[in-house]
Structure 1
């Protein structure tokens, strides 16, 4: 079974929202929502995603930037936004998905996901990463 198939299989487990299999076969899964799993991986073991296969429930532009930053090689998304697909074009990441949507909807279902909105006009990976860190700090300060 190839890396992407392993990641997709791991995503099928109950409650799993994110699964990644590194180039050497190490697996990480998460039940956290949004970009939290990728932000944690990038902070704790930045090389893990290099050449990895990722399977995720939802990929928006913010997550697409994080995959580029981490150097992922394969992605499967159950739902992906048009903004994410645009961001992943020519990135060297092989993308497959279930459903394409115009944008990722926020958790209240009344607008765009705040993370996707944060990086909507951004084109640089490092700038996007910085803005996402800032946005997460801002949101965690509100809770």
Structure 2
């Protein structure tokens, strides 16, 4: 069974923002917006080899993917930033995408996405995670 295909089809058919498959079974899915599904997935503490289908992947999502306790094997996304693609591929993660963009923008399209800003300003994952958590709490997303 093609794990990535299962994740991709579930995301598309059921209009999910994030789907994770392990051993042919869906082990995580979310319809929440933004980075919150990746944040939630990180806090699940999954182990083993996983396959991820996510609507958008920027620097923040890439940092989560590289820091999961589980080992991410393949990723599908509709839209990925060049920086995120380069980072994931440099770590040996196979990435399939529909569109590549220079940067992930905010909802009004006039600046970087706030999560991208947090990601760019914080190379250390633990610092990034804590700043992101504070942002998500402040904006009442978690």
Q: Quickly name the TM-score band, shorter chain normalised.
A: 0.7 to 0.9
**Unmatched tracts of structure 1, length 5 or more:** none
C-alpha deviation, 1:93, in angstroms:
1.7
Give the match for residue 77 of structure 2: 77
3-state SS of 2:72 partner: coil
Q: Distance in 2 between matches of 1:47 and 1:29?
A: 13
C-alpha deviation, 1:64, in angstroms:
0.6
Q: Distance in 2 between matches of 1:114 and 1:72?
A: 25
| Aligned ranges 1:1-143 → 2 under 5 Å | 1-23=1-23, 25-43=25-43, 45-48=44-47, 50-70=48-68, 71-140=71-140
Inter-CA distance 64–42: structure 2 relative to 1 (3 Å threshold) = same
TM-score w.r.t. the length of structure 1 is 0.85
Number of paired residues?
A: 139
Cα-Cα RMSD: 2.0
**Unmatched tracts of structure 2, length 5 or more:** none
TM-score w.r.t. the length of structure 2 is 0.86
